[in-house]
Amino acid sequence: MTEPVSESLSFGRRALDGTLRFLRNRYFWGGLGVLIVIGLVAYLMFDRAIMPSVTRHGVAVEVPDVMELRPESADSTLKAAGLQMQQQTLRKLNLPRNMVIDQRPPGGSLVKPGRSIYVTVNTGDTTTVLVPSVVGRSRRDVGGLLAEVGLRAGTIQQDSIQSNFPQDAISRQRPRAQTRVPRGSQIRLWYSAGPSAEFVLVPDVSGLPASDATGRLRALGLRSVILGPSDGVVRDQGPTAGTTVREGSEVRLRTRAATESQ
């Protein structure tokens, strides 16, 4: 019975000695350290690269509406939603300057996180408006009429040129109707002193430069309306020469380019 016990003790002692020698081996610890590093790197890659793409699969974000925002505000708004902004420019005279005037995809669309949103920023001039015609309207009303389109009444004075408009009605304006001007511009106005009791004969201004024809008509108290190039030559007129009209009446002058043959 003594020999088996001694052999068992001897085997256990040899096994313990072998284990201690193995644990003292620096190659063992070096290899174990390498395995630990590889495992840690693999875990980090899985946690930070693979898992996010798996968990975000099928997730969408709503595109915010950045229309009429300045580019910097639009960019920060899109970044806050996890999106990227791609900017292009376009010149539109009748839209606000340095504002987003278009975006693709539009606000409210569902897209993947990180998607690029393409916005168009206007580099055009200040918003412009068309000047309305206020000729013939009471001078008390023109301020409100101009304000409706974003314009203001400038100087209002009595017209030195006679007209057939009623007293206090607007007889002239500058700029003229249908001219495009910046919003907030002032419109200069003249009002009528009332129809004249005098009558004059319409002169013949055919063949004259438009500026000369206008001056000749004005000297007689008549008003000219030029239909055609303002620096052209009068080809015909109405009323015709020799017609008796009230002082302040309009004479329409149809013009042609000075270089154009008759």
- Max Cα-Cα span within the chain: 158
Confidence of residue 195 (pLDDT cuts 50, 70, 90): confident
Lowest mean pLDDT among 22-31, 70-79, 124-133, 139-148: 22-31
Which residues does residue 143 pair with via DSSP β-bridges, in sequence order?
none
Mean pLDDT of 185-213: 93
What kind and span of H or E run contains 27? helix 26-45
Mean pLDDT of 205-224: 93
pLDDT tens digits along 68-80: 999 999 999 999 9
Token pair of 226 as six digits: 């030029």
Say yes or no to pLDDT of 50 above 70: no
Confidence of residue 235 (pLDDT cuts 50, 70, 90): very high
Q: What Å distances lie between residue 10 and 6, 16, 17, 21, 24, CA to CA?
A: 6, 10, 11, 17, 21
Percent of the chain surpassing pLDDT 90: 54
Comparison of pLDDT for 91 and 105, the residue scoring more: 105
Give the pLDDT score at 248.
85
d(CA 215, CA 196): 19
- Per DSSP bridges, beta strands 223-227 and 250-256 are parallel
Which residues does residue 209 pair with via DSSP β-bridges, in sequence order?
233
Say yes or no to pLDDT of 136 above 60: yes
Q: Which class for 235: exposed (0-12), middle (13-18), buried (19 or more C-beta within 10 A)?
A: middle
Mean pLDDT of 186-195: 93
Mean pLDDT of 142-155: 94
Give the pLDDT score at 129.
87
pTM: 0.45
Say yes or no to pLDDT of 100 above 80: yes
Q: Which residues contact 109 (CB under 8 A, 6 or more apart)?
A: 62, 63
